[in-house]
Amino acid sequence: MSTRFILINTSHAGNVGAAARAMKTMGFDDLVVVAPRWANVLNREETIQRASGALDVLKNARVVATLDEALDGMTHLCATAMTPRDFGPPTRTPREHFELLLKKTVHGQEICRPEPDLADRTKEYDETQVTPGLAGPPQGMAFLFGCERFGMSNDDVYRCHVALSIPSNPQFASLNLAAALQLVAYEWRLALGGFAVTAADNVAGGAGAPVSGHTNGEPADARQLAGMLEHWERSLIAIGFLDPQAPKKLMPRLNQLFNRAGVTQEEIHILRGIAKMMVTKG
């Protein structure tokens, strides 16, 4: 399982550096910045100063133009939204959601949690007992953070499987971007088991070694899902089911439906075939 932190439209360079530092303290190094205010944000002096030694994270980071690029390969998307929405994915605390995602039970026995190190060891729990809404254990976890002033847009939140909300003082719930990222990164690292020493038999491929393959097929990533939804949107317009002048929330609702279903890559091809036939036979 890979973990990616995505900063969207970040306006203050220092927050990118501080985010890199927060990530490194929790053992994560995949940072993507989407359309920041400064195109050279990773090399700005304030960024480097606030990174405070996490220069390897900055060196590994990428700046991209669109959220689609940032989500490439990610299968489980977590928005961060302090303001409740009247529509969209469920809102949960990070700890609550991570436990739902990772702490399942089989015949009354708790499944082993993923190993805490940075290697790809997260498939060693029983893959037939997965979180509802996923085709299998998430291969790519993405945490999305909006700009400092306005947070995430509704459209970006609608794409996610969950909106994470950090419990805080209702009279003063304002969190700095890097502080919010630090808390989410801490809770995710804690859910993965912290930094306990890995047993020797796990490293050598013994009884606790990772299990390969998925019982339900490879989960579709965010880009594949978005492409399929665009295909469906065109077909629904073509057959007169969707009015582009008054779309209401049809496409976001379909996005949420497919998020809950946890469609696989094979199912994406089937759904695209259906969309094609809508127009051909319509």
CA-based Rg of the chain, rounded to a whole angstrom? 20
Q: How far is CA 272 from CA 149, 224, 236, 265, in A?
A: 38, 10, 12, 11
pLDDT tens-digit map of 187-238: 999 999 887 655 544 544 444 444 444 445 899 999 999 999 999 999 999 9
> How far apart are alpha carbons 144 and 74 in whole angstroms?
11
- Residue 104 tokens read as 């399942």
Contact indicator for 81, 144 with CB cutoff of 8 Å: no
What pLDDT, on the 0 to 100 scale, is given for residue 206? Answer: 43
pLDDT tens-digit map of 99-108: 998 864 323 3
Strands 105-106 and 109-110, sheet pairing: antiparallel
DSSP-derived 3-state class of residue 221: coil
pTM for the structure as a whole = 0.74
> How far apart are alpha carbons 148 and 16 in whole angstroms?
11
Contact indicator for 83, 172 with CB cutoff of 8 Å: no
pLDDT tens-digit map of 14-63: 999 999 999 999 999 999 999 999 999 999 999 999 999 999 999 999 99
Q: Percent of the chain, pLDDT > 90? A: 67
CB contact set of 185 (below 8 Å; sequence gap of 6+)? 5, 22, 23, 25, 26, 28, 143
> How far apart are alpha carbons 1 and 20 in whole angstroms?
20
- Residue 239 tokens read as 């057959």
Start-to-end Cα distance in the chain: 42
User: Which of 40-54, 76-90, 193-207, 244-258 is predicted least confidently?
Assistant: 193-207
User: Which of 16-25, 116-125, 264-273 is predicted least confidently?
Assistant: 116-125
Give just the sign of the alpha carbon dihedral 72, 73, 76, 78: negative
> 270, 174, 223, 225: which is closest to 72 by C-alpha?
223
- Write down all domains in the chain, each with its CATH number in brackets: 2-93+133-200 (3.40.1280.10), 222-281 (1.10.8)
Neighbours of 114 (CB within 10 A): 19
